Each structure stands twice: as structure tokens, then as C-alpha cells.
Chain A
């Protein structure tokens, strides 16, 4: 087998194994939560009969191993169960929420990834001069401020004072793409500011690292312009670390936006999870946990695979 393919296959198998471990962890985590699930659903007014009925309904009388296998079997066949609080099918409700979260993450990525890489290249071109320092200074300060604060500040100045963008990012079916983009403009801005620095700094560091190499000196001696050298010779050789950090940030855009979603009342996975955690709706919490974990693992796997494939030594072994 081709060694690169072998590495990729290894990574895939590892990813699946990791997901399996995570599923055990999530299930065990919800088991060790204090208090009885049936009790916390029914609240303080529960009668013993109602508790017994509820335990029966939830299958809490089965041993944990059986319940875990049932749950896992359901997930593998696409059945996430039903929410305890309103009896809705979890897969259906999560479907639209996940769609919304991915929509927001997608547009945040579209705005932030090219911008971060471009700013990184600019920073390298003007290394240690004022554009580099300005870019680093601004991006580092926006990553240091908690995202909810950036959210509130933008909401106040851009939304309330200037009136340029809506402060509530509720989107729903029947809105045109333009209306949706207008609605999510502020959250996209916040997310961009939050993830920019990490990607920009990594781009800058990776390229600077490559710039020390002899072949860059050769390119310089050939008389190529600085940007051509960076773009044609340095950038391709530093793709692996850049893709790694881009993927990490994409994962953050999907799983880490709970706070931003709540601040801007965006109907995504984060809000959905928060609503159900507060009511101890365990099947929903488990499903959300598993989806978040899968997104994280899959994106990291993609980063791994890309960095393997972008390495010519692995693609063309002697």
C-alpha cells in the first residue's frame, strides 16, 4: 500500500476509535450527574407512581451496559431518540439547528480565513515594521477580549448607536439569503475578530520559519519580488501548520460559539444545548455532545490528512 494512503487510513481508524471513546465518556458523564434523571424531570411535585412510570419509560431500570448499547445502536442508525421535555424527535430539531450553526460558521470562515492568511502574508512582507506591529497589535487585542464583551460592544456601537446592523440575529425559513446575511453580520464580525489572531500569527510564524531556508535566498537572488517569493515558494511549504490552525479555528466556530449564539439570540446548536441543559433533557445533551465531538474530531482529522498529503516526501516516497 502507498505509505501516504496507509497514514490516511490510520488516521481515519484512529478518528473512529476516538469517537467511540467519546461516546462512552458522554454516556458515563450523564450517568454520574447527581440526582435521579426521572426525579429531575418531574421536579419536586413527583409522586412515587409517576417516578416509577417515568423510570420505566426512560428505561432507567435496565443495566447501564444495555442502555449504552441501545443508545449507540440508535445513533448508528440515525435515531437520536426523542427530547424528554417536549417529545420532539431530536434528529429533526437538531437538523435545522445544526444547519443554522454551520451557516454562521461557514460565513464566519469565509470572512476570517482569507483575511487572516492575507494579513499574515502582509505581516511577513513588512516584518517588524509598522504594518506588522499594527496587525499583530489589533488582532492580539481582539483575541484577548472575551467574545461576549466584543459582542456587546459591537451591539451597542454598530447596532444601537450607528444603526448599521441588526442586534438580534434571529433567522428563519422564508428569509432571503441577503436578509439572512444582514441578520448575522454582527455575530460574523465578532467571530472573525475572535479567530483572526490565531490564524494570522500562525501563518506569519510558519512562513517566517520557511523564509530562513536556502531556497528562499536563491529565489531572492533570482530577483523575484517579495510577494511572489512568499506566495509561490514559502506559502506552499508552510501549508501544513496553517491548515492545522485553520481547522482548529473552524472547529471552534462550530462548537465554541455557544456564548455568541446566546448573546445575539441566534437559533443554533449552542442555544438549543443551553435550553435543554437547564431542563436536564439528557438525550438532547448527549446528542449535542456527540455531534460537537464529531465535528471536532473530523476537522482535526482533515487537518492531519491535509498536512500528510501536502508533504511531498510522503506523497512521492523513494
Chain B
């Protein structure tokens, strides 16, 4: 029987028999479906990546107004496209650590103020030019400075000086930052020849694929770069189709027109996964859906009113009914286990009695106005209605106002005192807190102003002792949990799907679709 199983495993891995047939054969020899599924996956992995073939990817989140300039990347399609032709200095490793890409090695001074990156030698851009430390410096310079439109400007602000020394690229910071290597994994910071200042949209880089045809918002075609320094990339051709309509994307996947798709709608993920040739992959990440209140505006400046709202939130119900189980409960901080140096706080539960107590203590009687819209996160108006219900059980009156999608991000979010919104998270705690919870942050959408928190945040940046740093982040989490204007009911999972014509899916950190590297890392089996 073992011989038989091995034989079928090999055939399945080579794509000679389909997943369905394999499962059938295995059940015939008495293997349960779940065990057979696992066997199939490991057999396919064991057979190793296969080179060649055409991989077709359906992705949502792109539009015809998109630019090819990585500095202007703002959606998943742009992110995925630029990861094919370009590479950063460092990238998130699958275990949450860091992987050296164009930086061969790096080191920091003791105060984490001066960072030295040794640039990999013998790497060529797709236009034939050899990568130098000057290219790296020119790239970083293009993303800094007041005139830049780069989405990475926030990261580059703390840099006081950059220089090149042979094949070394050196960054000096104004204040120490132990997280700098993580920040350099940012998807905007892809190294371009001469920093891309000759033509930022040329899509010339060192990545495993070369862009052959591009029609923004419609279709991108890549061919494998045989000259890649690490020989990465499996399929000879990758075709990326922008399919923004959920139903159309899922139909294309089920009919086999594409091999993988991102953003499977949670509502239908179960149905899609039941299809014979499709596997749904769900992965927890740092993205979260939030209800945010301005802590400098009445009644949210009242600690008790805020606590009443926090205790009046039924987090488990949100995960069950809004995320359809594809997620995990939040704890009124923007941080979860997907971050390095995470410490778990005591979970705040739904408690109508405590909510009623704090509401009474706050002395408030007027209804609270919550603004929401369809695009603030999927199912936001429903979530607002659930919140209204769970609060009314505690006697806290909530009025829900539905706002139009158009203009929500400019008129309501970060503008009106209480609304629904989402955050897609950041690779490290410092970056998340600096983006939205530092009192001086541009996107401080809860108007959080806590001196002790600000001090801890700056101190933690330069702290190189891991234990001390972890404790500092735990303290900051506690402050936001108790005093912040953030009500975070849930962390949403990334839900992607692949068909049985491709293999090599693995768990990664970062964004969905294997941190947007799925087309590069996976391979075509048939």
C-alpha cells in the first residue's frame, strides 16, 4: 500500500493526475480526506519547483489610473507588479525575521543611529547595468526630500545623512531606530538604476521577472529574468489580470481562467473552497477594522464615555458575523501576534453591565453619532448596526449615519469625531504607532495625545535590548488599550485562493498572496 501511495504522490506532484483523482485513489487505500490533502501538499513540495509554463494571476485593487512608478504604489496590483521587476534591500522572511536581498549584510552602531549596508555584488539590472551602492543611494534620495511624492516619505524623514563608501551604503539617523531594516522592506523602496530618476516608470530593476507588456488596470505580462542573481522565479511567463469585481474574479478562478486570486470575499470563501480544484488560504495578518473616536472632542474626551463604548463592543460577534470567522478578535490596540515583540494583554470582553456603569458615570445622555460607509471596511454599515444593538443592551444610545463612499477618506476619516475605518497594518510596532498614535502624527486619527506614550515610543526606537524593548511596547499597548480613542473589534485575515494547476503555497509574513510574492514563488504543475 505504501508503494502505491508513493506512486500516486509522485504522479500527483508531477501533475500527471489531478487533485480529485489523487484524493479518490487515497480514499480507495483507506486514507482520510484531510490526511490525503496534507500528503498531496507535502508531495508537491517535495517534488520541488518546476520551471516553465504560464501562470495566470487575477488580482483586485488596480485601476487604469495606476502608475508604474514604485514611489506611487498604493494598491495590491501596483505592489505585486513592482515586486516582480524590482527588489528592496531587505525583505520580510517567512518566520518574521529579515531576509537579505540586495543588501548582502548589514550592521548598526550601538546607538542604532548609523547603519551600514553592504550591497550585493554581481547583480545586474534588466537593462544590463550593474548594481552599485550609488544606485541604492539615488533610490533612497528620490524617495526623500520635500518634493517627493513617494509613499515612503514617512520612513525617510528620520534620515539625517546618507553616503556611499565603496560597496557600502551608509544611513545616519537623527535618533536611533532599531527597526530601520524592517522599514527598508517597504514596498515603495525598490532599487532602480540611478534611483529611477531618469524614468521612474521604466520598470527596470533586478527582480526575477521583466515587464513585457503593461496596460494599467487591465493586464500585465512578465517574462522570467534568466539573469536573476539568485535564479528565482519558476513560471516562464506570468500574466496578471486586474479583475476588481469579486464575483468575476471568483468565477475566473473556478473556471480555470486564472490560477490564483486575492481577496476572496469572506461571505463566499466557504463556497469557493468547496469547489473541486480550488484551495482557499486564510492567513492572519496585521490588518484591522476599527471604530475611531477623537479623544480631544466631547464626549470622547471623557474616559468613562470611551470605556462605555469599549465595553459595549461585542468583538466575537463581529468576527463571526462581519468576517464570517475569517479573523480574530481585537483588543483595542492596533497590534496583534503578527508583530515582532508582541505581548498579549488581558482581553477586554463584551460587558453590558460595565458599559452601563461607565456610561452613567460619564454623565452623558445625548446619543453618540457614528459615521460609516461601505468602503470604510467591507460590511462596515452592518458592523455599525451590530454595535448599535450591543450598546443599546447597555443603555448607551448610538446613532448611525451612513456617509457616501465618495469623499469618505477626505471628508469623514481623520476629520469627523467618530467613524468606522480600517488599517492594513505595518511590519513593526514602531511604524504602526508612529503612523497613527504619536501625538504629532499626520494620521493620528484618534487625536491621541499622551506624553508618556510619546516618550516611550521614541525611547523604544533606540533601545537595542530586546527584553526592555518588548516591555516598552507592552506598556504602550496598555496605554492605548485603556486611554486611546481606538475601538478595535477585529483583525481580518487575508483570504486568497489557488487552483490545483499551481503549487508551492507557503505561509509568509506581510501582505496577502504570500506577501505579494505568490506568482514568483509558486510554480505551474500542469
Contact = CB atoms under 8 A, between A and B. Distances in A.
Interface of A: 34-35, 39-40, 43-45, 83, 85-87, 93, 97, 152, 155-156, 159-160, 163, 166-168, 170, 172, 262-265, 267, 271-272, 275-276, 278-279, 281
B62 to A, nearest CB: 9
B420 interface: no
A40 B411 CA distance: 9
Contacts of B67: 85-87
A180 to B, nearest CB: 13
A172 B248 CA distance: 18
11 contacts: A34-B407, A40-B410, A45-B442, A97-B64, A168-B58, A168-B248, A172-B219, A262-B244, A265-B241, A265-B248, A276-B64
Contacts of B197: none
A133 B45 CA distance: 60
Contacts of B65: 83, 85-86, 275-276, 279, 281
A295 B280 CA distance: 44
A170 B218 contact: yes
B213 A172 contact: yes
Top 8 A-B residue pairs of the complex, sorted by shortest distance between their CB atoms: A85-B65, A275-B63, A167-B251, A267-B218, A275-B64, A160-B255, A168-B252, A160-B254
Given A93-B64, A263-B245, A166 B411 contact: no
A174 B414 CA distance: 46
Interface string B250-290: 01101111100000000000000000000000000000000
Interface in B57-77: 58, 63-67
B414 A159 contact: no
Given A39-B410, A43-B410, A86 B66 contact: yes
B251 A156 contact: yes
Contacts of B215: 172, 267
A170 B219 contact: yes
Contacts of A278: 63, 406
User: How many B residues touch the partner, as a band?
Assistant: 35 or more
B217 interface: yes
A40 B415 CA distance: 14
Interface of B: 58, 63-67, 213, 215-219, 241-245, 247-248, 251-252, 254-258, 406-407, 409-411, 413-415, 442
Contact of B410 (A44, A86, A93, A159): A44
Given A160-B255, A276-B64, A35 B410 contact: yes
Contacts of A97: 64
Nearest to A87: B67
Contacts of B244: 262, 265
A288 B497 CA distance: 36
A83 B65 CA distance: 8
A93 B251 CA distance: 28
Nearest to B404: A34
A275 B245 CA distance: 12
Contacts of A152: 247, 251
Contacts of A93: 64
A172 B247 CA distance: 22
